[in-house]
């Protein structure tokens, strides 16, 4: 059975790039069924935090614990439970959308790959252009395929790094709908964005970073869906 976890905890994360301190002791806990929006100015450490959570960067000090699982010991199995969506779609422009999705389905060793890809094409309305090379796509079409790529393996941890950049209103709405659907499924969502309207609509919790430190940590609502904490009985 695949490994699973229902929380991610960053413990005193420090990240140095030479003499520059990107993160200066960040400790945060992320829960299933909750979208946490990370805000802050450019250079505040938001993307570095997401890269460390997604195992794309190593912290200089500190640790990330996925449920009870250690990052180093279960690295590959943990990556199998993560989905990353950023401004760049992480697709091969000379392959079609279907070929890109099948390639990722094989990387994630998914069973019934063809039907999984077909289901994603239907979910994000990719079918009409799925057999054209990605190079010919508009920004909105690219983002739809990127969403399918990031979500096709039903990740537990969804990392979103400026995913709405360059999208039109319809594209942002589609992205918002997908994020909220994933939250209801029980995903641990971490979203970095400068778009405060978009953040208002999807955030369950907001964290503000400044110079690599947490300066605000505001929990606006508890986790939703099957991961919600049961409410206390009213007397």
Partner 1 sequence: MSVWKAALLVAEKDLRIEMRTREITTTTALFAVLVVVLASLSFYLDRGTARQLAPGVLWISVAFAGVLAMGRSWSREREHDAMRGLLSSPIPRAGIYHGKLISTLLFLSVVEILLVPLIGVLFHLDLFDVLGRVVLILFLGTLGFCAAGTLFAVMTVRTAARDLAISVALFPLVAPALLAGVVAMRELLDGATFESSLGWIRILLAFDILFLIGGTLLFEPLTSD
Which residues of the shown chain bind partner 1 in the complex (CB under 8 A)? Answer: 17, 51, 54-58, 76-77, 79-80, 82, 84, 86, 88-95, 99, 103-104, 106-109, 133-134, 142, 149
Nearer to partner 1, 19 or 76 (CB): 76
- The minimum distance between CB 94 and partner 1, in angstroms, equals 5
- The minimum distance between CB 89 and partner 1, in angstroms, equals 5
Residue with tokens 């990031």, as numbered in its chain: 150
- The minimum distance between CB 166 and partner 1, in angstroms, equals 13
Give the Cα separation of 47 and 35 in Å (integer): 16
Based on its alpha-carbon atoms, the radius of gyration of the chain, rounded to whole angstroms, reads 18
Give the Cα separation of 189 and 137 in Å (integer): 27
Nearer to partner 1, 188 or 203 (CB): 188
- The minimum distance between CB 200 and partner 1, in angstroms, equals 28
Nearer to partner 1, 162 or 204 (CB): 162
- The minimum distance between CB 88 and partner 1, in angstroms, equals 3
- The minimum distance between CB 86 and partner 1, in angstroms, equals 7
Nearer to partner 1, 82 or 207 (CB): 82
Nearer to partner 1, 25 or 133 (CB): 133
Nearer to partner 1, 23 or 172 (CB): 23
Nearer to partner 1, 60 or 217 (CB): 60
SS (H, E, C) the chain: CCCCCCEEEEEEEEEEECCEEEEEEEEEEEECCEEEEEECCCCCCHHHHHHHHCCCCCCCEEEEEECCEECCCCHHHHHCCEEEEECCCCCCCCCEHHHHHHHHHHHCCCCCHHHHHHHHHHHCCCHHHCCCEHHHCCHHHHHHHHHHHHHCCCCCEEEEECCCCCCCHHHHHHHHHHHHHHHHHCCEEEEECCCHHHHHHHCCEEEEEECCEEEEEEECCCCCHHHCCCCCCCC
- The minimum distance between CB 222 and partner 1, in angstroms, equals 29
Strand-pair partners of 69: 66
């Amino acid at each position: 059975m695949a490994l699973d976890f229902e929380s991610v905890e960053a413990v005193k994360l420090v990240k140095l790039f030479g003499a520059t301190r990107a993160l200066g002791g960040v400790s945060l806990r992320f829960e299933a069924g909750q979208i946490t929006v990370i805000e802050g100015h450019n250079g505040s450490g938001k993307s570095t935090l997401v890269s460390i959570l997604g195992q794309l960067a190593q912290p200089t000090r500190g640790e990330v614990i996925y449920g009870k699982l250690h990052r180093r010991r279960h690295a590959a199995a943990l990556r199998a439970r993560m989905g990353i969506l950023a401004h760049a779609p992480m697709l091969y422009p000379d392959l079609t959308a279907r070929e890109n999705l099948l390639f990722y389905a094989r990387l994630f060793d998914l069973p019934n790959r063809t039907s999984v890809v077909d289901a994603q094409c239907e979910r994000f309305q990719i079918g009409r252009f799925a057999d054209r090379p990605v190079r010919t796509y508009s920004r909105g079409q690219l983002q739809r395929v990127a969403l399918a790529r990031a979500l096709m393996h039903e990740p537990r941890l969804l990392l979103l790094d400026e995913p709405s950049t360059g999208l039109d209103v319809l594209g942002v709405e589609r992205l918002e709908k997908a994020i909220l659907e994933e939250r209801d499924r029980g995903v641990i969502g971490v979203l970095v964005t400068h778009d405060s309207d978009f953040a208002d609509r999807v955030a369950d919790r907001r964290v503000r970073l400044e110079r690599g430190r947490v300066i605000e940590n505001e929990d606006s609502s508890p986790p939703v869906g099957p991961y919600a904490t049961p409410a206390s009985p009213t007397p």
